[in-house]
Structure 1
Amino acid sequence: MHHTTLHENILLVLGLLFAMLLLVMLGQKLRISYPIFLVLAGLGLSFIPGLPPVVIDPNLIFLIFLPPLLYQAAWDTSWKDFWRWKRPIGLLAFGLVFFTSTIVAYVAQAMIPGFTLALGFLLGGIISPPDAVAATSVLKGIRVPRRITSILEGESLINDASSLIVFRFALAAVLSGTFVWQKAVSSFVVVSSGGILLGLALAYGFYLLHRYLPTTPSINTVLTFIAPYVMYLLAEELGVSGVLAVVSGGLLLSYHSHRVFDADTRLQANSVWESVGFALNGLVFILIGLELPVAVQGLDGYSLPQAIRYGLIVSGIVILIRLVWMFPAAFVPRWLSAGIRHRETSPGWQGPLILGWAGMRGVVSLASALSVPLLAAGGQEFPQRNLILFITFVVILVTLVFQGLTLPLLIRFTGVAHIEERMPTDEQEAGIRLRLRRVALAHMAQHYVADMEQNEMIRALQQRMQAEAQRTGNLLEALDYDETKRLALQRYHQVLLDVLRVQREELFVLRHEDVFEEEMLRHQEAQLDLDEAKISHMPH
């Protein structure tokens, strides 16, 4: 018996993965951000008669999906930006989560018959954290000031931890029937700081492994997959925050990654992580849609319209709280502190509005709602479990679909894309390249004068660097919108791409001639790929 279910599960996962890929491609055609599209598609699939309901073990979501997704998010977060916007991030990730949970708790208690305050806090903890993936994928391809994306990414990294902590305490209160504030606050401090310290310690261990053992790119890549699971499992085992352990460990390792990894490892690990992260995210969003019938079936004691009404009211409150919180959080510290006014430019009304509208709920909310136990302490059913699950669903749907689809329109309406904080990316890229070439030339002029006179190859290297520095300088000038220079640059790229294409075709011919070894040909092909990638990432 066990054997067939395993087969069925693997088939189900493969089927879902394939469906997810097709849907993502369709979503790209329709220009709809993929989390929104996948949730709606999952919903659609769940209505197909004869499909077995997909019941997921919530521990699986927490265990399989959460650590790598958080780790990837931490790895992609710029530590500098994170630290630069620590105040708004902290206000959102801790302040707003607690504020939302509290208001949701009191409203739910007043509105829903038989709903206690502890259950209200449970619901609040579940639906208070916005989703990292949803926000970044909705904003992909839309020009938004870096400040907004940095704050959103930073917030969604930490708010999972604070909301899960609220959730954990509320759950304990429902199960034991008592709730002591002092105890909650002190254990909150222990759970969070313990998680952070453990994550940093383990990350340091992995740092030593990567740094001092004779690893290969493949070994390094696999180690980066083991790391988040080790951090998460060990932290949960010790009763501290697994989420914060993964996040702090990921931030530490990504900060030191230039010391730890060589170029090959970076290229390999990045592409592997990109694919795996994409697959995990896609699966989670499609599962959110598929879980709905499970939530609806269990709505005993409430009619569907009633439950939908509760869900919509709570969604409205959650959206409103976030918008209301944004403006004081953005402006009160500015009024109170001259230092902040001096350091940071004013966010204007557009910044807080867009941040306020970008509170799309997702993976963590679903996983928390599903992980509410079926039975309470005395063996009786957990009170209101299905209603909590259903309301969570409605909140995820409303925020993800409604806010996610309207966010790009709002960004266009506010004109926030044109508020440039720094120079445009093309100029930044050319500027960085110029600095790097110059430091290389200065270094060679200082240390390798004799070599350059005697060794023809080293002389050629210096000449190539000089030519590249000259070319980058020209590029910077061309970006000042001198039309003839810009056209010359475009033509240069076209010619270069064409030359690379001819070289590729020649490689294909060489393969059939059977003179050179396949491995060497592949190596050359990779070299051509890198050359081409250099151009395709350049400003056009």
Structure 2
Amino acid sequence: MEIVTLTLWLLLLVSLTGLIAQALPPVLPIPLLQIILGSVVSYFPNFPKITLDPELFMILFIPPLLFLDSWQLPQREFFRLKKDILGLAIGLTLLNVVIGGYLIHHWITSLPLAISFVLAAILSPTDVVAVLAITKRLQLPSSTQHLLAGEALINDASSLIALKFALATVISGTFSFGSAVQKFVVITGGSIVLGMLVAYLFNQLRARLMNPQLATHPLQTLLLFLLLPFGTYLIAEHYSLSGILAVVAAGMSLSHLKSIHADSSAARLQARSFWPFLEFIFNGLIFLLLGLQIPQNLQSLSQKLLMDRPNLHLLITIGGITLLLLLLRLAWLLVPLLLTRGRSGQRDQESWLNRASLGSITFSGIRGVITLAAALSLPLCLPDGTPFPARELLIVIAVGVILCTLLLGTLVLPYCVTKIPVTVAAAEQSEEQQARFAVQQAALQQIEQDQKHYHEYWTDHPHGPQLLQLLNQACDGLKHSCLQQPLAEEQDHSKIHRPLMSILQRMQHNVLQAERQILYQLRLQNSINDITLRKLERELDLKEAGLQNDTQYSV
């Protein structure tokens, strides 16, 4: 009963934070508000205390959120930015672990070098949810959003893989560079292959074995999609692979498979309502739980630790590590820019745009959910039974860095974004306009094709002239509807008898099918990205839903 009451309280707090955030200025993002509220509520005497199980926390929250993010990530932009994304997600992660670990060891001399590497790996992953929550009201360039989203997806896996190696070094006391590289390649490659294989098998089985009646009952489809990331994560972890990387690979692979568009319009409309709802609840619960853990983690520090490391010294340590992470991120971004400028010998518009975006990308390195989960996942004891060295200190530093990066992002990131030159996304707007024109042309071509077919069919019909006149009027209405132009005079649909109305409805379905086919063709040709595809596809799904309602209630 206590867990039910606690769950209901947490869901109520998630809802309240959403309502409170609408009344507050945009300076305070929802994640920070939820952390604050969780910390305040934890001091209530009757509020139940929560002890997070790190393994349960990872399995319950992380797979669906990462699957959704990877599924929605525009793949064309991801592959266009793949060098920058992999550089931030893998190169910067290694830089944080190696250089950051050595510097943390020299800063906190009481920490062994291997433990410093563990802390650096914990602090490496970024949280794009918090970044987007801060910048959603700002004009952050779409390329920067795609870069940050891709980085967050990949560096979650790379950071946790690095954490595994660091923990293995702490436990065994030895480290082999060759063995580490070999294991990294095996884990990375195996996780990606597993995720792609699971997505392919799921898509094939779903396309061949699923009952066609599910097209009108899409909730079963949503349930299968919800279970997919959990299954992928558990299979990968069972075989000692990276569950996070496998989930990301499964999400991107499933989005890439063109047969995914075989979903019914009802299923897509349900999914577009269900996934944001689920994402809001899960993200809210995560940041509330983070806020609830802060006072408990501070109280868990032993009296000896507080005596050896006073609160002021601890705050300075957290601030120094946060500054170190920002400087390493800035250096990783700045060095390639300086090298490019030195080779080109000129300052073109793109270089200036990169310089303007430098601050926003630097302060977008906000830590969040994965960092908290990684810190809590540290073992309590070593294999010989001795307590894990400085476990409480690592958790407190991790929570402190999360708060510091979130506060810096809240205060500094909006200022950096406003300094970026406001440019109209002419290429994206032109791309969407061309796609709309292609859809219109496909619709008109389909109407003319159907109109010609019925003209030939009714040529010798006794009532052919009357039927053709009504058909021509109906086709004119369809053409004007496709072109979004008003008719010169209102059509009298009462004159269209039932057989002709049925033909007209069939033609409307044919038009929608032709419009979707041209959209999928444009996407396969990389003429449009996933964002444009989903936007126009949603418009067509709404049209089809309206058509189905008209058909259902027509007499």
TM-score by length of 1: 0.81
Q: In the alignment, does 2:141 pair up with 1:145?
A: yes
Which residue of structure 2 lines up, in the alignment, with residue 482 of structure 1?
Answer: none
Q: In the alignment, does 2:401 pair up with 1:395?
A: yes
> Alpha-carbon deviation of 1:116?
1.2
Supply the RMSD in Å over aligned alpha carbons. Answer: 2.7
> Alpha-carbon deviation of 1:49?
4.5
Residue 148 of structure 1 aligns to a residue in which SS?
helix
2: distance between equivalents of 1:211 and 1:294? 49
Cα contact 1:131–1:359 (8 A) shared by 2: yes
Cα contact 1:330–1:352 (8 A) shared by 2: no
2: distance between equivalents of 1:106 and 1:186? 23
Which residue of structure 2 lines up, in the alignment, with residue 439 of structure 1?
Answer: 442
Q: Of residues 313, 323, 327 in structure 1, which corresponds to 2:334?
A: 327
Q: In the alignment, does 2:135 pair up with 1:131?
A: no
Q: In the alignment, does 2:181 pair up with 1:185?
A: yes
The amino acid across from 1:158 in the alignment is I
Q: Describe the shift of the 1:173–1:336 C-alpha distance in structure 2 as closer, same or farther (beyond 3 A).
A: farther
The amino acid across from 2:19 in the alignment is M
1: distance between equivalents of 2:471 and 2:195? 45
> Alpha-carbon deviation of 1:345?
7.2
| Residues 43-82 of structure 1 aligned to structure 2 (within 5 Å) | 43-49=39-45, 51-82=47-78
Residue 484 of structure 2 aligns to a residue in which SS?
helix
Q: Of residues 439, 462, 467 in structure 1, which corresponds to 2:480?
A: 467
> Alpha-carbon deviation of 1:56?
0.6
2: distance between equivalents of 1:195 and 1:145? 31
Q: Deviation string for 1:293-342 (max 9, x for gaps)?
A: 2221232323333322211111111122212221224453676699xx99
Q: In the alignment, does 2:289 pair up with 1:276?
A: no
Which residue of structure 1 lines up, in the alignment, with residue 453 of structure 2?
Answer: 450
Residue 76 of structure 2 aligns to a residue in which SS?
helix
Residue 380 of structure 1 aligns to a residue in which SS?
coil
> Alpha-carbon deviation of 1:408?
1.7
2: distance between equivalents of 1:291 and 1:334? 46
Q: Describe the shift of the 1:26–1:435 C-alpha distance in structure 2 as closer, same or farther (beyond 3 A).
A: same
Q: Deviation string for 1:356-406 (max 9, x for gaps)?
A: 111111100000000001111211110000100000001100111221343
Cα contact 1:131–1:364 (8 A) shared by 2: yes
> Alpha-carbon deviation of 1:464?
3.4
Q: Describe the shift of the 1:141–1:176 C-alpha distance in structure 2 as closer, same or farther (beyond 3 A).
A: same
The amino acid across from 2:448 in the alignment is A
Which residue of structure 2 lines up, in the alignment, with residue 487 of structure 1?
Answer: none
Q: Deviation string for 1:497-538 (max 9, x for gaps)?
A: xxxxxxxxxxxxxxxxxxxxxxxxxxxxx9799679xxxxxx
> Alpha-carbon deviation of 1:421?
4.1
Which residue of structure 1 lines up, in the alignment, with residue 372 of structure 2?
Answer: 366
Q: In the alignment, does 2:257 pair up with 1:256?
A: yes
Which residue of structure 2 lines up, in the alignment, with residue 22 of structure 1?
Answer: 16
Cα contact 1:33–1:138 (8 A) shared by 2: yes
Comparing 256-265 with 51-60, which one deviates more in the overlay? Answer: 256-265
The amino acid across from 1:384 in the alignment is A
> Alpha-carbon deviation of 1:112?
1.4
Which residue of structure 2 lines up, in the alignment, with residue 194 of structure 1?
Answer: 190
How many pairs are equivalent? 469
Cα contact 1:315–1:395 (8 A) shared by 2: yes
Comparing 74-83 with 399-408, which one deviates more in the overlay? Answer: 399-408
Residue 426 of structure 2 aligns to a residue in which SS?
coil
Q: Describe the shift of the 1:229–1:336 C-alpha distance in structure 2 as closer, same or farther (beyond 3 A).
A: farther
Comparing 169-178 with 461-470, which one deviates more in the overlay? Answer: 461-470
Cα contact 1:210–1:261 (8 A) shared by 2: no
Cα contact 1:130–1:362 (8 A) shared by 2: yes
> Alpha-carbon deviation of 1:212?
1.5
Q: Describe the shift of the 1:470–1:287 C-alpha distance in structure 2 as closer, same or farther (beyond 3 A).
A: same
Cα contact 1:326–1:353 (8 A) shared by 2: no
Cα contact 1:53–1:291 (8 A) shared by 2: no
TM-score by length of 2: 0.79
The amino acid across from 2:119 in the alignment is L
Q: Describe the shift of the 1:50–1:28 C-alpha distance in structure 2 as closer, same or farther (beyond 3 A).
A: same
> Alpha-carbon deviation of 1:101?
1.6
Q: In the alignment, does 2:353 pair up with 1:350?
A: no
Comparing 119-128 with 195-204, which one deviates more in the overlay? Answer: 119-128
Residue 291 of structure 1 aligns to a residue in which SS?
helix
> Alpha-carbon deviation of 1:37?
1.4
Cα contact 2:363–2:408 (8 A) shared by 1: no
Which residue of structure 1 lines up, in the alignment, with residue 426 of structure 2?
Answer: 422
Q: Describe the shift of the 1:162–1:460 C-alpha distance in structure 2 as closer, same or farther (beyond 3 A).
A: farther
Residue 379 of structure 1 aligns to a residue in which SS?
coil
Which residue of structure 2 lines up, in the alignment, with residue 239 of structure 1?
Answer: 240
Cα contact 2:266–2:545 (8 A) shared by 1: no
Any stretches of 5+ residues in structure 2 without a counterpart? 459-466, 487-540, 548-555
Cα contact 1:125–1:167 (8 A) shared by 2: yes
Residue 354 of structure 2 aligns to a residue in which SS?
coil
The amino acid across from 2:271 in the alignment is A
Q: Describe the shift of the 1:299–1:181 C-alpha distance in structure 2 as closer, same or farther (beyond 3 A).
A: same
